[in-house]
């Protein structure tokens, strides 16, 4: 089921345009899809040889950038799917964005500006 969701997420986001924002991030490797309300799907297909940490850092940075681009302040990870496609590592996040009061303040909730600032040097 986990692999089926990852494949579906990658297929459904393939038609979405990607918006490169930071050095070291291949534009074609990312895709975003607006879902209902303030939910977005962020998908990333890493280049060959990328480490799990590099993949995670790049997806988190992209989620933070999309959040800021949408005029929001924080995001919460509602779902995360890791996978493989043609031998390359993939990761898909479903995020919920907001500003002002956060949802529950749990461990999967991130301040977009702080997250992007903390990852900037790691992903370039």
Supply the pLDDT for residue 73: 93
The DSSP call for residue 30 is E
> Mean pLDDT across the stretch 28-33?
86
Rounded percentage of the chain residues whose pLDDT exceeds 90: 52
Strand ordering across the sheet containing 88-98 = 30-34, 39-45, 88-98, 74-85, 109-111
> Can you say how many angstroms the Cα of residue 3 is from the centroid of all Cα atoms in its chain?
18
Q: Which range marks the domain in which residue 112 is found?
A: 2-123
> Mean pLDDT across the stretch 7-30?
45
- 66-77 pLDDT per residue, tens: 999 999 999 999
Closest by CA to 124, choosing from 26, 29, 23, is 23
Top pLDDT among 100 and 44 is at 44
Q: How many domains does the chain have?
A: 1
- 48-89 pLDDT per residue, tens: 888 899 999 999 999 999 999 999 999 999 999 999 988 899
> Mean pLDDT across the stretch 1-20?
39
d(CA 122, CA 57): 7
End-to-end C-alpha distance for the chain, whole angstroms: 34
| Residue 7 binned pLDDT confidence (cut-offs 50, 70, 90) | very low
| Torsion over CA: 87, 40, 21, 65 (sign) | negative
């Amino acid at each position: 089921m986990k692999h089926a969701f990852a494949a579906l997420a990658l297929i459904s986001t393939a038609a979405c345009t990607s918006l490169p924002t930071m050095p070291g991030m291949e534009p074609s490797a990312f895709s975003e899809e607006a879902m209902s309300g303030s939910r977005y799907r962020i998908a990333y297909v890493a280049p060959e040889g990328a480490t799990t940490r590099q993949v995670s850092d790049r997806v988190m940075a992209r989620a933070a950038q999309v959040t800021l681009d949408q005029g929001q302040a924080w995001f919460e990870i509602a779902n995360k799917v890791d996978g493989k496609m043609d031998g390359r590592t993939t990761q898909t996040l479903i995020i919920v964005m907001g500003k002002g009061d956060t949802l529950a303040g749990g461990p999967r909730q991130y301040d977009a500006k702080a997250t992007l600032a903390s990852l900037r040097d790691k992903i370039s």
